[in-house]
Chain A
Amino acid sequence: MPHEQQSSESSSSQGRLTREAALEGYRRMVRIRRFEEEAMRRATAGEFSGMHSSSGQEAAIVGACLALRDDDYITGTHRSHGHPIGKGADLKPLMAELYGKATGICRGRGGSMHLADRKVGIIGESAIVGGGIPLATGAGLSIQVRGSDQVSLCFFGDGAANQGTFAESLNLAAIWKLPVIFFCENNLYAISTPVVKSHGQPDVAKRAGGFGIPGVIVDGQVLSEVYEATAAAVARARSGAGPTLIEAKTYRYDEHCLGLQVPIAYRTAEELAAYRSQKDPLSLHRAELARYGVNAGDVADIEKKVAAEVAEAVSVARESPFPDPAEVYDYLFSNPIHYPPDSGR
């Protein structure tokens, strides 16, 4: 597999996650996986248009989110269904948003790339590659100015690491010692462009040295490793010592987005099969759960509850109304403009 990495430390590090947190981590990973699988089926059936699936990247997402408090901020990307779920969001408004329904988390105006659930601290999800990095940095500055002890965690991909916003944001955060965790989900491919064809050297975390901040590489398929690295970065940020760049080496199972036909063989079927069979984050974590004394019945119980939760989310989404066309101009501005001018609204 292209990500050559050791997860041998994971066995000695599991003590850092409590049994309760390890179970919650598994529950959240299953919620992401089942949500994405069901959403892919529904979108394929034509119930709503496109999406970017997070399947395969659950440990990176949940390991990072588990290290945060409820009032900490996160920013997302185009591939961000998993981020609110990882932070603990209710599935119903997320699924309804995919369907463009009025009950959606952005009232059906945002769709798949804008599952910005503020209740769990998400200040923005945006399809602009690298666009969330300065936003998370600004949130870090806000925290510092207000004297709060929150932190801001910024998710982005390997492609975004080559945007200028990445360098500008990391430098500012480093100078001002902002409480930001720059969290790269390196899934090896920016759509179909491999890291080795787009990066001067393959480790995103090595760029941290240029800004004088720590850079940490973790196995993004191992929940406990991601959790530990993020918890250390969060502690560092809360202590006022400044930002950390974390690179989670992970993998996406589906194509870049639903329905995308990539005419070039940018990755092999063997590589994909190897990740699915040997590096699946859910399978790896189930094995760890056994060491916590969690039995098969507990795991099955989580799976069953999550399945019901996802089914209910789909049902709510389907039954919810679309936004009223008369309200199309609502939620654009805090002081709405009225258009057409004679609309009387």
Chain B
Amino acid sequence: MSLPQHLKVEAYRRMLRIRRFEEEGTRLFKEGQIPGAYHGSIGQEAAIVGACLALKDDDAMTGTHRSHGHPIGKGADLKALMAELMGKESGICKGRGGSMHLADSSVGIISESAIVGGGIPLATGVGLSAKVRRTQQVCLCFFGDGAVNQGTFHESLNMGSLWQLPVIYFCENNGYAIVTSLASSHGQPSIVARAQAYGMPGVAVDGQDVTAVYDATSEATARARRGAGPTLIEAKTYRYDEHNVGLLVPGKPYRSPAEVEEYRTRRDPIVLFRQYLMADGFTEAQLSAVESEVAAAVSEAIRFAHESPLPSPEKLFEYMYSDSPAVSVK
């Protein structure tokens, strides 16, 4: 366990911020207050936060369709994220992006995109940029088990390895690409086994254990910063909710209720880490204070989002091009 003392409470705080943000977001979505689709990160908090805590503030990240947790894990303010979910002008993308584009550049997120596997070449490009500019930045690239079967994964990991780019390819393997299990979509079940094809290290880690994820990512980050190239990390994790809120999956169940229950009751990353912190000497009062603080921050974010205006229709064509074309909205 190498998670430094000063990051322990922060790890708990960030995981809890994701959990409460997602719980409230899910509720608001079901109430019709959030348009579009909603892909929650509940269950995957340790994978996200363990990885993000290993980064410096100026390191870059790319996200996916399931990326509310990524900016929160990197330390983003909740207000602009919640406002974006509601499509408000005060949102992090001015309400133009919505749920799948919580790209908070103030915490280093260069892109979130619903195109499966689309972030992998972008992160590789960021790595190339960091190398060319000789900065000490690294880029952490989040993607899921489904994205691993996209050609972009193959092309990007080869280039990342060839040019020894400072990229951490971080797979949140939650076992299912929507409803397609890993076993029915991968030639063999180990994602890290693909790393050797490109001559880079592959590290599998318990994605429900925030300290294990932190350790693995810290090592990969150190390796990247000293110019030794990329690492592929596979965090074995689990999503509690359906692929997206409200998705009805017809036919034979693709996973058993017992499996979900097992994760919720025995493998919950927040429960496990809270137990660890108590055993480590933290007091109930200390942790309760964090919990209250997080609940207040989420409530404040919702209030902020509700009170913010929707974008003005006259500004529909803004933010599309650096030089906006002169188009008027009638």
Contact = CB atoms under 8 A, between A and B. Distances in A.
Contacts of B152: 164
Nearest to B157: A200
Given A200-B157, A200-B197, A200-B200, A212 B187 contact: yes
Contacts, number: 75
Given A171-B186, A210-B196, A212-B187, A200 B162 contact: yes
B187 A201 contact: no
Interface in B270-325: none
A167 to B, nearest CB: 3
Greatest chain A CB density within 10 A among B150, B151, B194, B199 is at B151
Contacts of A174: 187-188
Contacts of B57: none
Contact of A199 (B158, B186, B188): B158
A303 to B, nearest CB: 42
A211 B187 contact: yes
Interface in B139-195: 149-155, 157-158, 160-162, 184-188, 193-195
Nearest to B200: A200
A197 B163 CA distance: 9
Contact of B149 (A163, A165, A168, A198): A168
Contacts of B158: 162, 198-200
> Chain B's interface: helix, strand, loop or mixed, by majority?
helix
A281 to B, nearest CB: 28
Contacts of A168: 149-151, 154
A166 interface: yes
Nearest to A167: B154
B153 A200 contact: no
Contacts of A341: none
B188 A166 contact: no
Greatest chain A CB density within 10 A among B152, B157, B185, B194 is at B194
Contacts of A213: 187
B193 A210 contact: yes
B240 interface: no
A200 B200 CA distance: 8
A209 B162 contact: no
A206 interface: yes
B198 A200 contact: yes
Contacts of A276: none
26 contacts: A163-B155, A164-B150, A164-B151, A164-B152, A164-B153, A166-B151, A167-B149, A168-B149, A168-B154, A171-B149, A173-B187, A175-B187, A197-B162, A199-B162, A200-B160, A200-B161, A200-B162, A200-B197, A200-B199, A201-B196, A201-B197, A206-B197, A210-B188, A210-B196, A212-B193, A213-B187
List the 4 shortest-distance A-B pairs measured between CB atoms, nearest first.
A164-B151, A174-B187, A212-B188, A200-B161
Given A168-B151, A197-B162, 8 more contacts: A166-B154, A167-B151, A167-B153, A170-B187, A171-B186, A200-B200, A201-B198, A210-B188
